[in-house]
Amino acid sequence: MKLSNFKVPFISFFSFALIGLIAWFFRDIRYFALFLGMGSMEFGVRTLVIKFPQHRQLFRLIVQTMVGGFLLFYLSIVIGVNFQYPQIIFDTAEGIVTGALIQTIVARVLLPFVLGNAFCSRACWTGLFFELTNTKSCKKIFKRNNYIAWGYLIAVTIAAIILIRMLINPATDESLRRAFIIGENIYIVAVGFMLTFFLGSRAYCRLLCPFLTISGLIAPWSYFKVRTVKKDACISCSKCNNSCPMLIDVKEYAEKNMAINHRQCILCERCVSACPIEVIKVDSKRNTKQ
């Protein structure tokens, strides 16, 4: 194998390791262990994909299940760390830093410069649920509207501020925080599952998720993207479009020999797996073949 084939795995691993070192500096060594573990799994999976590309999605979903499951069942439910967006407001009001803010800085501000919105397809537990229960049976696909997305983020922020003034801040009350962890996740899953049937695949992620709204601002400048690597080779079969859970018009990018520069691309690589002639792949630069 060419050493260049390992560019994505190595850079991904060192990105996670560096972020872990930064988190260790500001918090404690457990964060370094967490991100080093995530980086190691990402490295392992991407290395296996080089040898077994036909199992790309299976490997990715295994990693997402392991990482997402660990974050949800152990760190959230057992330890009591709330990773959902409102917790940032709760913590800010008390002047403390916990998992929600660290996740936002790491997964939604730093990591997007390297791997775009890849956290959504490799670590997010609600994203995993929506992907496994995905349906495109709705009659009309509702495209993302930035006014709705930002409006929802602002509404959640205002609701969290009002809640703090009306009740005890969940950041300082363990029992209330645990109730919010369970309640918020049930709310997201229930609302997202229902929206999917009316507004198209992975509707909550596409239309409302506050974290994707934030990371989507940075993702277009990601070092790694799904890029066209075979110039003018696209046969317009639309298999990439049919496979995309975020309903991005991948075919249009491929036909124009362009990288997918879409704010909603979660780098799940389903389009890469679906392409019958390997026109597209995750790469760090435009390396088209004539």
CATH at residue 238: 3.30.70.20
Phi, psi of 234 (to 5 degrees): -60, 130
Position 138 pLDDT exceeds 60: no
At residue 234, the pLDDT reads 92
Are 176 and 170 within 8 A, CB to CB?
A: yes
Residues 119 and 65 grouped into a single domain? yes
Residues 204 and 232 grouped into a single domain? no
Residues 215 and 191 grouped into a single domain? yes
Average pLDDT over residues 52-81: 91
Position 26 pLDDT exceeds 80: no
Position 58 pLDDT exceeds 90: yes
pLDDT tens for each residue of 249-286: 999 999 998 899 999 999 999 999 999 999 999 988 75
Which DSSP letter does residue 282 get?
E
Domain boundary among 222, 240, 274: 222
Residues 210 and 255 grouped into a single domain? no
Residues 63 and 176 grouped into a single domain? yes
Domain boundary among 170, 192, 222: 222
Confidence of residue 288 (pLDDT cuts 50, 70, 90): very low
Position 139 pLDDT exceeds 80: no
Residues 143 and 71 grouped into a single domain? yes
Residues 257 and 163 grouped into a single domain? no
Phi, psi of 280 (to 5 degrees): -125, 155
* Residue 56 is assigned to a structural domain of this protein: yes
Residues 122 and 183 grouped into a single domain? yes
CA nearest to 121, candidates 273, 277, 239: 273
Cα 61 to Cα 25, 47, 156, distances in angstroms: 31, 15, 29
Domain boundary among 222, 239, 257: 222
Average pLDDT over residues 179-188: 93
At residue 290, the pLDDT reads 39
At residue 251, the pLDDT reads 94
**Domain boundaries, position 113:** 52-222
Residues 273 and 158 grouped into a single domain? no
Which DSSP letter does residue 280 get?
E
* Residue 165 is assigned to a structural domain of this protein: yes
Rounded CA separation 25/108 (Å): 19
- What percentage of the chain has pLDDT greater than the value 70? 94
Question: Helix 29-51 and helix 7-26: axis angle, to 10°?
Answer: 170
Rounded CA separation 156/214 (Å): 14
Average pLDDT over residues 130-149: 75
CA nearest to 60, candidates 114, 13, 118: 118
Residues 111 and 193 grouped into a single domain? yes
Residues 250 and 139 grouped into a single domain? no
Residues 59 and 194 grouped into a single domain? yes
Are 47 and 60 within 8 A, CB to CB?
A: no
Residue with the bigger pLDDT between 1 and 187: it is 187
Rounded CA separation 38/46 (Å): 12
AA identity, residue 166: M
